A and B are shown apart, each in its own frame.
Chain A
């Protein structure tokens, strides 16, 4: 018995070790190859700057880039909060009212077909070159997945639970908050995650098209000036912005699911 446990443990340590070492090794090989290619002048530094340069620039310009990143972070956050509020209230309406569902939902699906990315210039026309345009655009991109996912979640509650509510004479709103909402939470958060990704895309594309600050502006500015190292370190900063936002969302999801888990557990 002890022997078996020991073998299992050893196997586990070995596989865990492999699962950590292998990706790191692969990553290092890529970085090494990259450095080597640049050192041997196979590719010009304009196309691919050595990884060391990117890191140096990242450290040297961190204050400057953090300023740009903060603008992007703020815009993404605000747009995401707005689209969450709007999206959740819209899907509430769709769930509560049969009439609204029949009227709105097919139109939403139709709207979802529009390649929203192509609307970026239109938003600049409507809202100017300032923050408002990017906020509105990020919101518009994020709204559809949030509404579609959360309405799907809210509408697909188990029929037995709904029948139970009805037989216990629960009101429409009571059913909504006590049964539908807790059950739909995982689905809602899936929609929110997609929405967050799209918000970031919206804000960055908005900054590509026209902006005087922000990470997207910095990336396109650096790329057009052939400052590839700057562009790559700006992309790294965007990664940090994305990570901050995602970590925040995952924390909120964890807390909310924790609070509702007592209710939602069947």
Chain B
């Protein structure tokens, strides 16, 4: 008697070569297909249960709508609780135009009113009326998917629950035989999954939704309790109902398979770029700037945005502590004028307290904004504020999902983190393993003053400087100065200036000394040259005298020889004696 029709053909034909894998019907719901390993079991019923207001109806409706819009699978929505008018109105806010799908023949909305209580039970009955209605709805639309929301309402309409239960069991068997992928919703019972134990009949896949409030922030969670014949994520996954429907956020990311870029993005501080091996951060990397209060983290972040906008790129600034006006004013005071970028639409601020949204809402909204604005760089200032709305483990899980998202999009992100007091490294440890570059800004106390220093704690894949730099906030933005390392340790601030002055003074002294020596030498050279000149003059004089004397001497010898020759001639001496005479003359 039961209206039956042929089992969906692809259920049997699709399996032969892949016996191990269960055919699945993708839900199209963001994240849910990842968690379920591809979707809900095709051609079988899935139970979605949870307390009132946890989003069962919306999840189920989106399953149908995505089936129509993305997978060409028409659907039937059987509503036991809401009228079709209410349904249409309720999901219109998600952008689902049910009336349009109805008009196109892709969707059948079937409201079934279960009259309460006073139906007299006069004997044997079955639910063939329901079967016929469902069968007709499935046939008219050629539906591959069906949602029954919420079937337990039937328990209010019938007093003979034994018959009802056996009929429900028959219903699920019938749905299977029709080969439609069904989603059955049910209210959570007291200590049981569902109020009337429906889970006994729907055993292929059970999804539990939950709605918890912790620290005044509500979080929706989804868990795959059971998925017969399939691997599935076993965690509780946060999910959201946003403007575009349900989003399940798998905590474990699908895998680290981002494409990476070797391009560098300037930090906005030239000296810092060179500290990072020249060029700045890697494009698409995640940077953490940690530090205690008032160390200039936000300024570093603002300058990073400033640099990006100067290159004509879009930047998005998420601020959890200051308003846009405050940031603009404060940054202008240190010479970082962001207003032109805001006016040009290159820079966008999103300023809100983190507890406005909750962790999941936060992640979701950010992803939405990022998708809409499509910035090249983003800043979150500070991520440590998120710890107010979740445990460190939750925050780090959320951030890791966010980092994955950013990396997949190639967005360079700068997170600042406020360290509380002395345990600077410990408090950030949940985050630091996620980031590629970690800069630490801290204050050093000495000589009665606090001075900021910056150093690179880690920077994956670049030859970064190991030097500490003094971090100065000037009227022209951030400047990094070398610090002096002396016997007393690192010198900053006035001590550095004193050291600088001291070295200047020492230098001047040395210079004077040198000049003195140089002029002394010059004078000495002049003296030496003068003395040398005098000596030469003496020498020349002597040489002249000697020369003269020599000339005089030779004249005399010639004279004497002449005289002797004269005398000899006069005495008639023979010429032989001449040699003798010459000899004598020479002696």
Q: Do A and B actually bind?
A: no
Tell me the B residues contacting A by CB distance below 8 Å.
none
